[in-house]
Amino acid sequence: MSAPDDGTAKRRLPIGIQTFREVRGEGYYYVDKTAHVQRMTDGGKHYFLSRPRRFGKSLLLDTIKELFEGSEELFRGLAVHDRWDWGRRHPVLRLDFGGGDFEQPGWLSEDLTLQLEAIEKSAGIAVGSGSAPARFRRLIAELRERSGRRVAVLVDEYDKPILDALGTPEVARANRSFLRGLYSVIKSCDAHIEFTLLTGVSKFAKVSIFSGLNNLMDITLDPRYSAICGYTEQDLDTVFAPELPGLDRDEVRRWYNGYSWLGEGKVYNPFDILLLFDSRRFKAHWFETGSPKFLIDTLLRRGVPTPNLEGMVGTEALLSAFDVDEMSVEALLFQTGYLTIVDEEDRGGRVRYRLGYPNREVRQSLNERLLWSLLPDAARRRADDAPLRELLAANDFAGLEAFFRALFAGVPHQWHVNNNIQDYEGYYASVVYSCFAAHGFDLIPEDSSSAGRADMVVRFDGGVYVFEFKSVGKGVSGRALAQIKDRGYANKYLRLGRPVHLIGVEFSREDRNIAAFEVARAA
């Protein structure tokens, strides 16, 4: 056994390691999550937790497995050690849907059958044939009878068979129905079960998949468990202290901190942090490991302008409104980790959550992918090579206007309609916003003031740039710049002592390009 982490010496980085025994026994860094596990086992029996991909859910389940199997030597020095009854050992039945091509009809049944056969063989149990739910039920009962102890049931990536098949709805519905029958077994076997935890990325509506398992305690938005997965600021400053020298701590926060599930502090995605410590480079480590194609297709199909992604508002029910046939954009973005909770407000017992990007990595990378989808290939290449930082650093507004005129000139007639953003203003504003966001600018969309909201504010190199977008017919109206001035959108920035620039951009519905690009200096 390796010594507990004390923050004094470098250890191995557990990149991709999901086995608790390996992490604890072979000299890897480990962030102690066992106090959370203890709280769960003390306070309830059947639990559900959703977190985005690569947040440490599999390692958490493996930790619980070793705990119930009584592997005391692995827990010495951890929070749970002195509070656990090591004389009680329980059989563990763990299912993992992390692998397989579940878009193929019938694959789910085949995959589960193989998993159950492997568990039966390992336990020396001959359960026999029958449907998967029936086999699952008999296996739980047999494990209980043979050991004399109730069973811990752990399910990893419970939802992946549905998520994989969302592009083929009939298969997704079939997989959902299959899993509903499987998970209902847990409730019917309650007398034989000591503890249950199901984890996944999404939180499907209870009526669609957990209608037969309505005694689950959902801890996804429970502040007590907000840090059950992920790393906190304290974790970085203590456990990973040897890795921090040479890294700009503020940059680490800007790039990777910011995920919130209602706890007092925010957390980092573990995968990001481990890859940063390994490569010593700030880049989109987490984002690049998965394809958000389904998400982007959904956003474009529903015509959601990209500036609207920040500042979305939803209730807990809305953030859970996720199913094969009906899913809210807010739920999709939140559950997959592209938006997080930035604020909450109690309105007479009805809590509303305001969503936003968790950090620079997600905002920059997601907007880059959105920009690629909003533009044809030729315009996309121009956007990728945009000299935006140089233009703003020099306050070269003529150059900025020329850049966007050239960019939009490469967009074919009616291209924006193919992206389902039906109004010209929404399409062009989305391209401008995502272009700035994809290049890492500090942006505030829909920036509120006492007189209204500016469409976009950019803060860069000590200056502030206040944008307003308008769609016009023939000619130039001058309304965009006038609105910024008349409503005093820039007033709150003047007292900061920074140069403030007002930029009114008007898009022509007839010419399908910029009709006016007017600039003034706020006084």
Cβ atoms within 10 Å, residue 105: 13
Q: What is the mean pLDDT of the chain?
A: 91
**Residue 424 and residue 187: Cα distance in Å, rounded?**
53
| pLDDT tens track for 272-302 | 999 999 999 999 999 999 888 889 999 988 8
Q: Is the pLDDT of residue 213 over 90?
A: no
Q: Is the pLDDT of residue 3 over 60?
A: no
- The listed range with the strongest mean pLDDT (130-139, 298-307, 338-347, 359-368) is 359-368
Q: Is the pLDDT of residue 102 over 90?
A: yes
Q: Is the pLDDT of residue 487 over 90?
A: yes
pLDDT computed for residue 265 by the predictor: 87
Percent of the chain surpassing pLDDT 70: 95
**Residue 522 and residue 466: Cα distance in Å, rounded?**
10
**Residue 97 and residue 114: Cα distance in Å, rounded?**
11
pLDDT computed for residue 391 by the predictor: 97
Q: Is the pLDDT of residue 381 over 70?
A: yes
Structure tokens at 54: 């690569």
Q: Is the pLDDT of residue 420 over 70?
A: no
Taking residues 409-433, report their average pLDDT: 77
DSSP-derived pairing of the beta strands 463-472 and 452-460 = antiparallel
Taking residues 123-148, report their average pLDDT: 90
Least confident of 86-100, 130-144, 415-429, 475-489: 415-429
pTM: 0.92
Strand (E) or helix (H) holding 139: helix 132-147
**Residue 12 and residue 21: Cα distance in Å, rounded?**
14
| Of 73, 84, 90, 92, the residue nearest 24 (C-alpha) | 73
pLDDT computed for residue 77 by the predictor: 97
| 3-state secondary structure at position 6 | coil
Q: How confident is the model at residue 215 (pLDDT cuts 50, 70, 90)?
A: confident
Instruction: Go through the domains of the chain in sequence order and give each one's CATH number.
Output: 31-225 (3.40.50), 361-521 (3.40.1350)
The DSSP line for 298-346 is: HHHHTT--GGGGTT-EEEHHHHT-B-SS-B-HHHHHHHTTSSEEEEEEE
Q: How confident is the model at residue 510 (pLDDT cuts 50, 70, 90)?
A: confident
Structure tokens at 216: 């689950």
CB proximity list for 357: less than 8 A, separation 6 or greater: 258, 309, 310, 338, 339, 340, 363, 366
Q: How confident is the model at residue 255 (pLDDT cuts 50, 70, 90)?
A: very high
pLDDT computed for residue 8 by the predictor: 65
Q: Is the pLDDT of residue 150 over 80?
A: yes
pLDDT computed for residue 450 by the predictor: 73
pLDDT computed for residue 397 by the predictor: 97
Q: Is the pLDDT of residue 347 over 70?
A: yes
Percent of the chain surpassing pLDDT 90: 74
